Amino acid sequence: MDLKRLKQLSEFAWQVNPSGDRTLPGIIYADSALIRGMDEKVCEQVINVTALPGLVRAVYAMPDAHWGYGFPIGGVAAFDPAQGGVISAGGVGFDIACGVRTLHTGLVPDDILAIRKQLADQIARDIPAGIGSRGKIHLNRKQMNAMLSGGARWAVEQNYGTPSDLGRIEENGQMAGADPACVSDHAKKRQQDEMGTLGSGNHYLEIQQVTEIFDAKIAAIFGIREGDIKISIHCGSRGLGHQIGTEFLKRMVIAAPRHGLKLTDRELACAPINSNLGQEYFGAMNAGINCALANRQILTHLIRQIFERLLPQAELTLLYDVAHNTCKRERHRINGKEKNLYVHRKGATRAFGPGHPDLPEDLRSAGQPVLIGGTMGTASYILAGSTGSEVKAFSSACHGAGRTMSRIKARKIWRGQQVIQELARSGIEVRSPSYRGVAEEAPGAYKDVSAVVDVTERAGLSKKVARLVPMVVIKG
């Protein structure tokens, strides 16, 4: 990125100056190495988002930011409905409520090592992964609408888990405001056989070992010790979420002139929050969030069944489940007053700080767990939300490493079979139905996740708690 376009505010914050009739800036959180490595389109997309009406404070980009559809991935923006604020399908993304769920196991590495290959094979057999993957669950229309309204709470009621799981999921496992009637029949049809599936792309299920603790006090509250075995599930709302995004983007583009919206980029298609179209999208998107929460809950049930057979001494309980592609209606203090805002986080994780009333009581003193995914051969991280992040980015943090190259370019550099063999030599068992998918997700196609997390902490967005490395990876 050309630094001449930016004003450096601090060692870890860079301002994109407003231009024309725009009055609010963009803020990119990065150190000098990360900012130089970001593609120019991140800056362009941040500038474009600042032109949307009803924006509050600024547009923010996380240290893992890279080019996306409309909004940059890693982008955060909040809009005030009382000031004509908008809601944007491009500001949420196609994989609605894609997120990470991390489970405790009560195991240590010696419990896993002897059966690591058997465990990898069994998970790959029992949990469908890949493009168009279908599970054993089929939902009829009534069941589909119940799932879209109930989220993980619905899944628990269907015996996919226990009520104690719900307290460790954002929104207690059920997103309010979901309206299944706003979800098309086509979207529902795409999802009717995809519950309990992992999907493709950067989605994964990993068995991980905690290799380093950075904050012993918070780690103890989270229930994390060095040497622990954890399981992390990274996936979202599958075909349903993608269809919701596709359909509403088209509708928003067509309706923009009617709402007096002049789009600098048609990918920024949006609608006034208080319009019928804006509220229909909000209802459909919240249903998509519930789909993702239910899907991760069912996957948790499936992985528990596998461990009951192969490692019956394991106790799989939730640390936390949080998404990173959402628009949430939240209360934030603006100029000394509490306001209801619609906070878009696209490739950015909600990161409430200590004391926030929406957090589980037993975690509240530490802040929200922020779950950061790695890239097969690298580390993942568990962070904790910080109080200062409220002012810096509406209580938001990064979500992963962030790509440095396209999937097409990655396929030209790496062969999937070769990547799997190299990772096996380093002690990581990878299973995937697609060599192509593995090549696209090669660790070298991403930024250094440790550098991203370090900047996230040093910029005051979240605190590092623990580092985890993969032992088994199931990829789509």
At 433-447, the pLDDT tens digits run 999 999 999 989 999
Question: Given 3.90.1860.10, 3.90.1150.10, 3.40.630.40, 2.60.40.2130, which CATH number is that of 3-88+96-475?
Answer: 3.90.1860.10
Q: What is the predicted pLDDT for the residue at 419?
A: 94
**Three-state DSSP class for residue 323:** strand
Q: Kindly give the pairing relationship between strand 229-235 and strand 204-213.
A: antiparallel
Q: Which residues contact 71 (CB under 8 A, 6 or more apart)?
A: 45, 49, 77, 88, 90, 91, 93, 268, 344, 346
Place of tokens 């404070």: 57
Instruction: Give tens-digit pLDDT for 139-186.
Output: 999 999 999 999 999 999 999 999 999 999 999 999 999 999 999 999
Q: Which residues contact 226 (CB under 8 A, 6 or more apart)?
A: 210, 211, 212, 213
Are 68 and 344 within 8 A, CB to CB? no
> What sign does the CA torsion over 345, 266, 85, 251 have?
negative
Neighbouring-strand partners of residue 61: 28, 75
H-helix or E-strand spanning residue 428: none
- Alpha carbon 52 to its chain centroid, in Å, reads 23
List the Cα angle 441/443/444 in 5-degree steps: 105
Is residue 399 among the annotated active site residues?
Answer: yes
φ/ψ (deg, to 5) at 257: -60, -35
Task: Please state the domain extents for the chain.
Answer: 3-88+96-475
Q: Is pLDDT above 90 for 219?
A: yes
Q: What average pLDDT does the segment 375-395 reach?
A: 95
Q: What is the predicted pLDDT for the residue at 80?
A: 98
**CA distances in angstroms from 245 to 225, 251, 267, 293, 402, listed in the order given:** 40, 10, 11, 17, 21
**CA distances in angstroms from 457 to 85, 116, 374, 464, listed in the order given:** 30, 33, 17, 6
**CA distances in angstroms from 36 to 11, 33, 169, 409, 461, listed in the order given:** 13, 5, 36, 20, 20
What are 249's two structure tokens? Answer: 């983007």
User: Considering the chain, what is the average pLDDT of its residues?
Assistant: 95
Q: Which of 104, 242, 324, 399 is catalytic?
A: 399
Q: What is the predicted pLDDT for the residue at 404?
A: 87
**Three-state DSSP class for residue 60:** strand
Are 152 and 294 within 8 A, CB to CB? yes
Q: How far apart are CA 129 and CA 135, in angstroms?
A: 9
Q: Which residues contact 391 (CB under 8 A, 6 or more apart)?
A: none
- Alpha carbon 364 to its chain centroid, in Å, reads 21
Confidence of residue 249 (pLDDT cuts 50, 70, 90): very high
- Alpha carbon 19 to its chain centroid, in Å, reads 31
Residue ranges of E strands in 273-352: 317-323, 325-334, 337-346, 349-350
**Closest by Cα among 55, 73, 56, 51 to 64:** 73
Instruction: Give tens-digit pLDDT for 118-142.
Output: 999 999 999 998 887 888 999 999 9
Torsion of CA 260, 263, 266, 267, to 10 degrees: -110
